[in-house]
Chains A and B, each alone.
Chain A
Amino acid sequence: MTADLTELTVGSARDGLDKGEFTSRELTEAHLRAIEAAASLNAFILPTPHRALADADASDARRAKGEQGALDGIPVAIKDLFCTEGVPTTAGSRILEGFTPPYESTVTANLRSAGAVMLGKTNMDEFAMGSSNETSYFGPALNPWRRAGDNRAVVPGGSSGGSAAAVAARLALAAAGSDTGGSIRQPASFTGTVGMKPTYGRCSRWGMVAFASSLDQAGPFARSVGDAAIVLGAMAGYDEKDATCVDVAVPDYEAALTGDVAGLRIGIPKEYRVDGTPAEVEALWQQGIAWLRDAGAKIVDVSLPHTRYALPAYYIVAPAEASSNLARYDGVRYGLRVAGETLEEMYEATRAEGFGTEVRRRVLIGTYVLSAGYYDAYYLKAQKVRTLIKQDFVDAWQSVDALLTPTTPTAAFGVGERIDDPVSMYLNDILTVPANMAGLPGISVPAGLSGDGLPLGLHVVGRAFDEETVLRVAHVVERAAAFDSRPEPWWDGAP
């Protein structure tokens, strides 16, 4: 048996299981022990050890009969935004406390039918609204990384902070997350993991707690590009239950990792050089450009002139859709109810106590921009700007096959450092939001360390439904970067 089963990749764990070197039960037990020892990271809202062991035993039985799926016996963590039948699902909110879905989301059902073992439900910003995991009703998940020589807690990013922390801390081989404005890629960059948002419509949104329906998309976290490719292949696919899920074949993503980018045209968008970007982020970007050039790619300067308007337009579209989606939380059908004399008072009290500060802020902004007399000035204007943002990318695809940018303007920041300034928190997503606005696939790959020893990611964006090129470029960046730093375990019970 391998010394530490939590150190494996998805690919090597799959091979080990196939060769009978260990069982899924052993692999799963190793991860459950790691989760128990890392309670102080608060990466999980709800670990599901009994379910995990039952899944593992079922997987071992399938394998004995030679009936295994693509992820059979692989322990994964699930963002607590995916409805899981019979397992409480909170979306990080008090208003959903006690809600046990009577149905399974399509993405988790797909993972399950590929044989994956569910370790538990991971922490997240409330309703995926946040970039630090600090808006979770269940307290912040913490980044397993800390600044060199500094023992203060650092955020794992958000909103999928728990999934990112779990994969970085070796509590899961991979995890499912969701990305509305950067909620997979930003935490991946902050935790030194790989995180991918596929094309809008690639994964079904059915059974995912809705935040902003025109932007939300599920995707994987893993510790290598190859693993992200394997897990995405299992999550993705057409689903008639989601009208926006697109009926196109899911390619073999692992096969896309050829290591060859010779002749591929990589665009470098000048507008992604934002004011105040630290020199180390700029230097890493230049390093990434050099890696791809050395690998034979052709580097092309491009312009995406509306980039700087993507974030403010997002802060109209996303809150508008959220205010509509979150209207369902009224204390009648599920979750929290706070008593009131009248029906109206019951609604207002339930929503006042059930929603946290950031969710209330966004629901109010969304309500305002959709209210009578303001719709054209805000929502319609934002959707027009969105057309221009998408057109920028369409124009760029005339001369390039993919884009390379930094994932985030800075490395991870400390817990409590930005929570009181909403706009400064929103600026985290300035480089990731344009891909959501245009529906495009993007991936963050760990590529280096900041001056104070925290991970930094590079970001590859591609054409709609061309995840293969995105993965192929990311894989070449990964090999060149040879990022092998890892967090120094400091949490209780760390190995």
Chain B
Amino acid sequence: MSLDKATVAHIAKLARIRVDEVDLEPLASELSGILKWIEQLDEVDTAGVEPMTSAVETTLRWRADAVTDGDCRDKVLANAPQTAEGYFAVPKVIE
């Protein structure tokens, strides 16, 4: 599968990473090269094979449905680039 410029622009949008127009073409050829190498997996017959869900067999544990953490608003906000009134602050999203 070879990626074109438009597809790279689309996945960059999905990934929320700005990519300048001039970078789209080289990025498309670079990502296509990697995908082409990955596609050797097509040689493997996986009919009837279950996909792996966990490398080590485990059963998920139960725990009590109890509050074990919280009441640490200031700690949570301490690393934020911008806060206001005890909240994370971002550019205006509602007109």
Residue B67 interfacial (CB < 8 Å): no
Per-residue CB contact flags for chain A residues 329-365 toward chain B (1 = under 8 Å, else 0) read 0111111110011111111110110010000110111
Whether the pair A347, B16 counts as a contact (CB closer than 8 A) is yes
Residues of A within 8 A of B7 (CB): 368
Q: A246-B58, A384-B46 are in contact. Are A390 and B52 (CB under 8 A)?
A: yes
CA distance A200 to B53 in the complex (A): 13
- Residue among B56, B63, B76, B82 with the most chain A CB within 10 A? B56
Whether the pair A385, B30 counts as a contact (CB closer than 8 A) is no
Interface size on A, residues (CB 8 A): 71
Whether the pair A344, B16 counts as a contact (CB closer than 8 A) is yes
Per-residue CB contact flags for chain B residues 53-83 toward chain A (1 = under 8 Å, else 0) read 1111010110100000000100110111110
CA distance A154 to B88 in the complex (A): 44
Residues of B within 8 A of A309 (CB): 40-41, 43-44
Whether the pair B41, A313 counts as a contact (CB closer than 8 A) is yes
Q: Which of A312, A337, A368 contacts B11 (CB 8 A)?
A: A368
Flag the segment in A125-133, A138-146, A276-284, A375-383 that touches B.
A375-383
Whether the pair B31, A243 counts as a contact (CB closer than 8 A) is no
Q: Nearest-CB distance from A89 to chain B (Å)?
A: 10
Residue A439 interfacial (CB < 8 Å): yes
Whether the pair B56, A384 counts as a contact (CB closer than 8 A) is no
CA distance A409 to B18 in the complex (A): 37
Whether the pair B49, A464 counts as a contact (CB closer than 8 A) is no
Whether the pair B27, A330 counts as a contact (CB closer than 8 A) is no
Residue A323 interfacial (CB < 8 Å): yes
Whether the pair A243, B61 counts as a contact (CB closer than 8 A) is yes
Residue B93 interfacial (CB < 8 Å): yes
Residue B6 interfacial (CB < 8 Å): no
Whether the pair A351, B18 counts as a contact (CB closer than 8 A) is yes
Residue on B with the closest CB to A99?
A: B79
Residue on A with the closest CB to B60?
A: A243
Q: Which of B37, B50, B72, B93 contacts A343 (CB 8 A)?
A: B93
Residues of B within 8 A of A163 (CB): none
- Residue among B38, B51, B61, B88 with the most chain A CB within 10 A? B38
Residue A178 interfacial (CB < 8 Å): no
CA distance A336 to B8 in the complex (A): 24
Whether the pair B51, A384 counts as a contact (CB closer than 8 A) is yes
Q: A332-B90, A333-B80, A360-B17 are in contact. Are A214 and B55 (CB under 8 A)?
A: yes
Residues of B within 8 A of A361 (CB): 27, 30-31, 34
Whether the pair A330, B51 counts as a contact (CB closer than 8 A) is no
Residue A263 interfacial (CB < 8 Å): no
Per-residue CB contact flags for chain A residues 415-426 toward chain B (1 = under 8 Å, else 0) read 000000011000
Residue on A with the closest CB to B33?
A: A423
Whether the pair B34, A422 counts as a contact (CB closer than 8 A) is yes
Per-residue CB contact flags for chain A residues 188-215 toward chain B (1 = under 8 Å, else 0) read 0000000000011100000000000011
Residues of A within 8 A of B63 (CB): 240
Q: A200-B55, A240-B63 are in contact. Are A312 and B41 (CB under 8 A)?
A: yes
Q: A306-B44, A323-B15, A381-B41 are in contact. Are A201 and B56 (CB under 8 A)?
A: yes
CA distance A102 to B74 in the complex (A): 10
Q: Nearest-CB distance from B59 to chain A (Å)?
A: 10
Q: Which of B11, B44, B81 contacts A367 (CB 8 A)?
A: B11
Residue A470 interfacial (CB < 8 Å): no
CA distance A368 to B14 in the complex (A): 9
Q: Which of A313, A351, A380 contacts B16 (CB 8 A)?
A: A351
Whether the pair A331, B81 counts as a contact (CB closer than 8 A) is yes
Q: Nearest-CB distance from A455 to chain B (Å)?
A: 29
Residue A22 interfacial (CB < 8 Å): no
Per-residue CB contact flags for chain A residues 228-256 toward chain B (1 = under 8 Å, else 0) read 00000000000010011011000000000
Residue on A with the closest CB to B90?
A: A343
Whether the pair B31, A364 counts as a contact (CB closer than 8 A) is yes
Residues of B within 8 A of A335 (CB): 79, 81
CA distance A365 to B90 in the complex (A): 28
Whether the pair B56, A312 counts as a contact (CB closer than 8 A) is no
The chain A residues found within 8 Å of chain B, CB to CB, are: 98-100, 102, 199-201, 214-215, 240, 243-244, 246-247, 306, 308-309, 312-313, 315-316, 323, 327, 330-337, 340-349, 351-352, 355, 360-361, 363-365, 367-368, 371, 378, 380-388, 390, 422-423, 436-439, 464-465
Provide a sorted-by-A list of 8 A–B residue pairs whose CB atoms are within 8 angstroms.
Answer: A200-B55, A214-B55, A316-B38, A360-B17, A364-B12, A368-B11, A381-B46, A436-B55
Please name the 3 residue pairs, one residue from A and one from B, whose CB atoms are nearest each other, closest first. Answer: A439-B55, A383-B51, A334-B79
